[in-house]
Amino acid sequence: MPAQVQGRSNAEDIVRSFEQSKMVNCKHYPMVFIPGISSIRGEPQSQEENDKTYEESQKQRALERKLRKEKLDLSIMQAQGAPEDAIKAQRKKVRAASADIDEFCDATGRARRRSREYTPVNPSFPDPESMPGSPADVKKQMQQHYDRQATPLQEMTPAEEFRKLQESAEPKAPAPAQAAPEPAAPTAPPAPATRPTATFTPAKTIEEAEEYARKTFVDIYQFAATGISYKGISVDIANEINQTVGDFYQTYNVKKFSGIVAPTANSREGKMIKNAVAAYSPIRNSFYINRSSLKDEKTARKHFEEEAKVIQEYFAAPGKYTRISREVKTILENSRESGRATVPTTVKEALWHELGHSLEKYLKEVPNYEKIKDGYTTYAKKISGYATAEFSEYIAESFAAWNRGETVVDPELIEGFKALQRK
């Protein structure tokens, strides 16, 4: 719309408005209009109609984003070889999201824009829904593409390179002869579960903290990487995250993570972790931080104090909690032996819990993994009530307890953790 100056169009403003419109994705185009000869086509739209059309367009964009997200998750699951039942469940989510768009367009009369619904992981990554062949063929092609393009090679550190050279160059020494058993010596302090990094320097700004994470333990070029975003949490919490995760990465022979983010409460990820202080995604190999619980040191301390208060109140008067789910009640009842629902009482310990989740896939490769699984029923209640929820939580809670220096952890599991440490 040209600017009006005392009832007349200002030619300079018209030119400037036209030039600016080309910079903001404007879909209008110029036409010659001769007063008295040309006629206006179409009826002018009222403000109410304009607002309604805009609201409908934003609703459609939201539905399209949801469908793209579900298709992206399906691509990730197929590429990483997720269980077939999990893939089938994700396919249902894709179909449901697509049906939502159809229903919306039928109700409003809007045209479906399928070009907005196609989102490969990167410009060269194939869309599994459009690939020919059987599901097995599609899965194979996705895995080949993932192996070829999406998984970056992890470079060896100088220490690893030196160790590898030593192993190949030096002959193995014969096993020492068995000596007679000696009297038991006083128990030495346990070896540190996570070796601290002496060179850590706290960041002064969130930007510095994000850059440290990016350089130290995050690879943003991994497949489906979430990247780094500490927006919404304090610098102190960001430094705690960096030091804890950095120490972990220096201690354990694991790949770098794809990211750490603190999503907003109304985002998809934020809603998923609204009842947790943090979460680890094995599919994305990334962490999510609940900014509501871990916004700053004061907020975090209050959260952990409230958690401890709830379990003590339940022990004192279990009949008071009549409206809790069966799963939560089971966890609380299973907390009696250990005296706690969960292990973490600080931000660092909550991060140890999530880092324990990241070790689970590596533990499957250690020689005593079957013994570790056998110890679940024996040791879970000694760790915490939450450790009895499932095997995955047992691993995470045990890792947090071991880092606290506790002796209730299964020795087989400790041996598994130690097998994953860098030598």
Q: How many CA atoms lie within 13 A of 114 on its CB side?
A: 4
Q: State the Cα torsion 118-120-124-128 to the nearest 10°.
A: -90
What pTM value is reported for the model? 0.57
Which ranges constitute the DSSP H helices of 80-147?
A: 84-108, 135-145
Distance CA 94, CA 77 (A): 13
* pLDDT at position 17: 56
What DSSP letter does each residue of 367-416 carry, written as one string? TTHHHHHHTHHHHHHHH-SGGGS-HHHHHHHHHHHHHTT-S-S-HHHHHH
What is d(CA 222, CA 150) in angstroms, rounded to the nearest whole number? 6
| Beta-bridge partners for 9 | 4
Q: What is the pLDDT along the chain (423 residues), one digit of tens a residue?
A: 444 434 444 445 554 555 555 555 566 667 777 888 877 776 777 888 888 888 999 999 999 988 888 888 887 777 667 788 888 898 899 889 988 998 998 899 898 888 788 755 443 444 445 455 565 665 555 555 444 433 333 333 333 333 443 444 444 444 444 444 444 444 444 555 665 655 789 999 999 999 999 999 998 877 777 889 999 999 999 999 999 999 999 999 999 999 999 988 888 888 888 888 899 988 889 999 999 888 889 999 998 888 888 888 888 888 877 777 788 888 889 999 999 999 999 999 999 999 999 999 999 999 999 999 999 999 999 999 999 999 999 999 999 999 999 999 999 999 999 999 998
Burial of 347 by CB count in 10 Å (0-12 exposed, 13-18 middle, 19+ buried)?
Answer: buried
Q: Are 262 and 231 in contact (CB under 8 A)?
A: yes
In sequence order, which residues have a C-beta less than 8 Å from that of residue 349 and are 6 or more positions away?
Answer: 343, 400, 403, 404
Q: Which residue has the tokens 């002959």?
A: 171
263 to 88, 235, 260, 287, 300: CA distances (angstroms): 27, 16, 10, 10, 16
Q: Any idea where the domains of the chain sit in the sequence? A: 1-42, 56-150, 203-291, 297-419
pLDDT given for residue 121 in this prediction: 46
| Token pair recorded at residue 86 | 């999990």
Phi-psi sector, 33: left (phi>0), alpha (psi -120 to 50), beta: beta
